[in-house]
Amino acid sequence: MKLLVINGPNINMLGIREKDIYGNDSFEKLEKDIFAWAGDMGIRVEMFQSNHEGAIVDKIQEAYGNFDGIIINPAAYTHTSIAILDALKAVGIPTVEVHISDIDKREKFRAFSYVSLYAEKVIKGHGLLGYKEAMEYFVAK
């Protein structure tokens, strides 16, 4: 099994930004953890992070025929990007949406997710372990 893990804007700033919401762990730790979990589960992963909506859309399109699943934390694009939703729908790859924080318990505008209109599963508020949970979901499928 091969999974694509996509992280949207500002996820690369983990450990620096809003530690009370996102914790102290760095983006580098997240990447290291994901690769370790993948190794333990016997799956392959590719990581991608961008602060640019079009780059994320391009990466989703490139995933067509190359990945068995997508794990995506669209970050701020969760609440604004119909383009990312449309790209996911176009490629038809099973998708799990992950959020480090519980977006339902934050500002009201964060409660709606375009990506959740397509995602098979949404994981919110489990910190970095939400990515592991998403990987386990694909393995169990």
Q: What is the pLDDT of residue 69?
A: 98
Spatial distance between the Cα atoms of 64 and 93, rounded to a whole number of angstroms: 7
Q: What is the pLDDT of residue 108?
A: 83
Q: What is the pLDDT of residue 102?
A: 79
22 has catalytic annotation: yes
Structural tokens at position 129: 């372990």
Set 22, 77, 114, 131: catalytic member: 22
99 has catalytic annotation: yes
Q: What is the pLDDT of residue 84?
A: 98
Which residues of the chain carry a pLDDT beneath 70?
Answer: 23
Set 52, 64, 79, 99: catalytic member: 99
Q: What is the pLDDT of residue 43?
A: 96
* Cβ partners under 8 Å of residue 1, min gap 6: 42, 43, 44, 68, 69, 138, 139
